[in-house]
Chain A
């Protein structure tokens, strides 16, 4: 197998395999934390951090502990433990240093633990046999893709508050679902950039 260039992996993670809009992973925060741009930014920052860290740690865990001991089947549970611990760590840091963000993120911060985008990225790393640099790149790219989608969604929803939305579309979550659909359809066009094998 030809080694994929880092740039390709980056593009894939951000656009072609966008976690929220193409793979539909981690959708609960996509609807839950996109009411305003500020908390969406904070949430995205936390997710990027957790993704980068968990890509690093889980790569080490998988290749230096699980593979030598032939315990690959344990990867899901092991990764979840790692992710949970990292999220807890992020929570400590955010609560200490950015209490306002901590309050606005609310329950969604601990929910990154079960955010399937994080586990998904880590498991995809393993499935694609990425080496260390590729893994971390894909982790960061997935986080950036998440950020892009979150910020677009939050921006649209913020502006939608001051315009007339047809009653049939509604406001709040209903509106978010409509927007998510249309955004997702537009992201499908990125399939042309890098053909999915």
Chain B
């Protein structure tokens, strides 16, 4: 009986020792020389792994910042604060950049004609493949919420009116929604830009009117009204030169379609 006890202890202890020695040796052989700075930078990043920076995740982003010289403000989620901390770690100065939020360039939604009932795969990309959108307007929002699902921060919601709304308090400017939209409805706009055209249709006025109540018909009223000469209608769509715009709101006042938004 004693023999069994001693043997058991000896065998297991020996096994443990042998295995331990082997692992120590292996960890020496397969050691990875990683820069400790990478871990410190990764520590400062938000850790949401949203991919907004364009890298595979926060760890990959930290690696890129330290190893391959990606800018210290690569992380759109962390914003200025994070960039400053990482900059301090990396010995770089960071200048503040204004926060940018996605902005929806379509105001159609329910007021845009729906051509047929779509019952296919749930998602805008698939719906867009079928006869160039289920909406009358091929430029417009399909309203199936691919962007809403792409958002990892619950900042987007599909409104009653049939197009997405951005909650700026939750938005981290990661850009996932912009990448997800197959119809390029969403785009980044800094918060300081006050005036926006809520349409991206280049169709002629008559065509737009036939399918959508809230589309730009290219009437050029805004262009004539603008005192700063900041608005231009090209290919039946008003475009605002944000550098010249003084946010006076004159264009919004004359727009017959009511699609120029002044925040």
Q: Contact: B121 with A164, CB < 8 Å? A: yes
**Chain B: number of interface residues, binned into ranges:** 20 to 34
Which of A66-74, A112-120, A172-180 lies at the interface with chain B? A66-74
Looking at chain B's contact residues, the main secondary structure is helix
For the complex formed, measure the closest distance between the CB of B50 and the CB atoms of chain A, giving whole angstroms: 16
User: How many contacting A-B pairs (Cβ < 8 A)?
Assistant: 51
Q: Contact: B23 with A85, CB < 8 Å? A: yes
Q: Contact: B11 with A71, CB < 8 Å? A: yes
- The residue on B at minimum CB distance from A69 is B7
Q: How many A residues, CB 8 Å from partner? A: 23
Please give, as numbers and ranges, the residues of chain A lying within 8 Å of B4 by CB-CB distance: 70-71
Which of B14-22, B76-84, B197-205 lies at the interface with chain A? B14-22
- The residue on A at minimum CB distance from B119 is A164
| In-complex Cβ contact of A89 among B11, B22, B122 (8 A) | B22
| In-complex Cβ contact of A81 among B19, B26, B56 (8 A) | B19
| In-complex Cβ contact of A61 among B15, B30, B32, B56 (8 A) | B15
A92–B174 Cα gap in the complex (Å)? Answer: 33
A144–B134 Cα gap in the complex (Å)? Answer: 47
Q: Contact: A69 with B26, CB < 8 Å? A: no
- The residue on A at minimum CB distance from B22 is A85
Please give, as numbers and ranges, the residues of chain B lying within 8 Å of A88 by CB-CB distance: 23, 26
A85–B15 Cα gap in the complex (Å)? Answer: 10
Please give, as numbers and ranges, the residues of chain A lying within 8 Å of B122 by CB-CB distance: 164
- Assess whether B120 is interfacial by the CB under 8 Å rule: yes
A71-B8, A74-B8, A89-B22 known; A96-B32 Cβ under 8 A: yes
Q: Contact: A163 with B121, CB < 8 Å? A: yes
- The residue on B at minimum CB distance from A96 is B30
Contact with A along B121-145 (1 / 0, CB 8 A): 1100000000000000000000000
For the complex formed, measure the closest distance between the CB of B149 and the CB atoms of chain A, giving whole angstroms: 12
Q: Which of A41-57 contact B (CB under 8 A)?
A: none
- The residue on B at minimum CB distance from A95 is B32
Please give, as numbers and ranges, the residues of chain B lying within 8 Å of A81 by CB-CB distance: 12, 15-16, 19
| In-complex Cβ contact of B19 among A65, A77, A82, A95 (8 A) | A82
Please give, as numbers and ranges, the residues of chain B lying within 8 Å of A82 by CB-CB distance: 15, 19
A77–B19 Cα gap in the complex (Å)? Answer: 13
A52–B4 Cα gap in the complex (Å)? Answer: 30
The 12 listed contacts between A and B (C-beta, < 8 Å) are A71-B11, A78-B15, A81-B12, A81-B15, A84-B19, A85-B19, A89-B23, A92-B26, A92-B27, A95-B30, A96-B32, A162-B121
Given contacts A65-B11, A69-B11, 7 further A-B contacts (CB under 8 A): A77-B12, A81-B19, A82-B19, A88-B23, A92-B27, A95-B30, A162-B121
